[in-house]
Chain A
Amino acid sequence: MLYLLITFIILLLVVTGQRGLSLLLGLGINGFAIVALLILIADGFNVLITTAIISVVILVVAIYMNVENSVTANISFKTSLVITALILLITIPILYWSSTQGMGVEDQEELEGFSLAAGVSFPQLAIATIIVNSLGVISETCVAITSGLNEIVMNKPTLDQKAVFADGFSVGNKILATQTNTLLFNFFATTFPLFFLMNSLHYNWQDIVNDKLFASEVITFVVCTIGVILTVPITAWQVSRVDRKKLAIADKRE
């Protein structure tokens, strides 16, 4: 693993030059933030409040350390906060209804020897899991759509709000397609061992669609996709409100 780490760092520095250092720093801070999140939850802090605070920290790092244009960064940050809040609002009722927290019967072998009544609220942890899962996709989508739209607005300063929205959807189409692919392929990565196991346990399709782990993966995929979809109109709305002059100044400074 050490060889892999060294190789990654060398390659990153060769390809991205000085940017690589700030990228590494950003990744390090985010990794550290996640470990902090885990320790705080294990120490008995409220799962949802802790996740909310750590999410804000992660979004600040993920957006402000990767984006140089200050107007783009500000809009992306605001949008991703709104999206994360919306995801939270959608996730809570869906998870309440689906009861997909914790682990499944398929995991039981792994759990031997563990004390299972560990005092952490796994229904709340399930919500935190979906939020953490979505953070990377959401911040990247926000930045991509905002910078794409800002460029269009810069070149055609006379666009009215309606036209900005229309352009937002044309930029958003491609990004939605690629992000859906990323999420879908990750769904494949986590579910194929599950499907294989289900087959050896002789599940039929009715068992599969009602299975806890399967349902939980589907819900993660669906909720993250909803986040990506919602990013488009909210970003378009933010960009159409922003002062064009500020944008021009920020662009020049860059």
Chain B
Amino acid sequence: MKILKKRWFQIVAAVVLVLIATIATYFDASLYQKPIVTIDQVAQQSKTKGTDEYKNTDYQVVQKVYGHFSNTSKKGQSVTITNSYAQSQLLDERYKAHQQVFVSKTSANHYIIQSTKRDAVLVFAVGLVIILLFCMKFTRGRLLSSVLLNLVVFFGFVQALIKLRTGDLVTLTVITAILIAAIALLVILGPTKDFVMAFASAFVATTVALLFSIWLLQLSGNSGIHFEMVDFGLQPYFGVFISQVIFSVLGVILDETMDISSSLIEMKQEVADVSKSTLFKSGMAIGRELVGPLINILLFIVIAENLNVVMLYLMNGNSIGYTLDMTLSLGVTQLLISAIGIVLTVPVTSFIVSQMVREKVA
């Protein structure tokens, strides 16, 4: 009974804390220097149908936004702002009552909306995860500490990147990747020999896959890949691309090495006189089952990232072929390099673990 009561108390406490944090962030306008307006009411003023050169029909809507200032010396004063948006809302937005927006002054008593205040919804979303974790019997401490540690390392990476400019990007990424891989494996496996084996396998497989893929890309003179389409056209294109590949594939490869190595270690414990080649073969058999789902995970993540830009190309009168070539060639290349890494991890991990487990006995 006591344990049950404690659990309920924890859940209720988590819910209350998240609600308080969300509400506090919603009303934190006084922390900001920029003027913030809370919207009380909106009214649609006009809606005009427009057709662009590609025969897409869209509506341009003008709305009157009534609200009051939530900070600065004008706090409490009401204000009326006119906002115009396209119904498809690619860059502009339809504003709704109770939203909060940053505004800037264009002339006396005339304001325009700059952007939406989104801090409260982020706090709420992250809070939702925390509540769910408290509702269930997960070991929260480990999970949250590993996420936090990784965020700290990533923060350091971004800071270093900003200081050193992007010249040393790939070196920085490799160091960061080694750090977060070590953290992730240490948190799940602990400082054991299993950790050394999984880490060595992940490191070898990723390195081989990357170097081999880069060599193949150079062999074909990077033809057919639009590296200039990398996010925000950030320079150096190739360095940014490779860094994104490393981060993106790392989690999946770690998952894979842990699965294979832990099964093989368990096998070794149960059957002490199992031979190296049997272990290697079982590793391959386990890995075979993992390859498909893991490639699938990255396939959908990579494609989802590009849906907006693909749709924009398609709606602007481009053919499917041209659209996919321009928008997805980078994504597909990323996916292929990752897939080669995922496949290579199976024999590499099986080999390393089957050899190392053997040595421990001898």
Q: Which residues of A are in contact with B by a Cβ distance under 8 Å? A: 1-5, 7-8, 11-12, 15-17, 19, 23, 26-27, 30-31, 34-35, 38-39, 41-42, 58, 62, 65-66, 90, 94, 96-103, 105-111, 114-123, 125, 128-130, 132-137, 139-140, 143-144, 166, 169, 172-174, 176-186, 188-190, 192-197, 199, 206, 209-212, 215, 218-220, 222-223, 225-226, 229-230, 232-233
Mostly, the B contact residues are helix
Contact residues in B for A193 (Cβ distance below 8 Å): 230-232, 234, 240, 244
Contact residues in A for B161 (Cβ distance below 8 Å): 192, 195-196
A195 to B155, CA, bound (A): 10
B147 touches A210 (CB 8 A): no
What would 26 A/B residue contacts be, using CB atoms closer than 8 Å?
A: A1-B217, A1-B223, A4-B216, A8-B340, A30-B300, A39-B314, A62-B296, A97-B121, A110-B233, A111-B312, A115-B54, A117-B56, A117-B90, A120-B311, A123-B89, A132-B304, A177-B184, A177-B188, A178-B255, A181-B146, A182-B297, A185-B150, A189-B243, A190-B305, A192-B157, A220-B304
Contact residues in A for B309 (Cβ distance below 8 Å): 103, 110
State how many angstroms separate the Cβ of B21 from the closest Cβ of chain A: 13
Interface presence of B196 (CB below 8 A): no
Chain B 232-251 interface 0/1 with A at a Cβ cutoff of 8 Å (1 = within): 11100000100111111011
Contact residues in B for A226 (Cβ distance below 8 Å): 128-129, 132
Q: Which residues of B are in contact with A by a Cβ distance under 8 Å? A: 31-32, 34, 50, 52-54, 56-58, 60, 86-91, 93, 96, 99, 102, 115-119, 121-122, 124-126, 128-129, 132-133, 136-139, 142-143, 146-147, 150-151, 154, 157-158, 161-162, 166, 180, 184, 187-188, 212-213, 216-217, 219-220, 223-225, 230-234, 240, 243-248, 250-252, 254-255, 258, 284, 287-289, 291-301, 303-305, 307-312, 314-316, 320, 324, 329, 332-333, 336-337, 339-340, 343-344, 346-347
A230 to B247, CA, bound (A): 26
Partner of B243, one of A42, A174, A179, A192: A192
A136 touches B298 (CB 8 A): yes
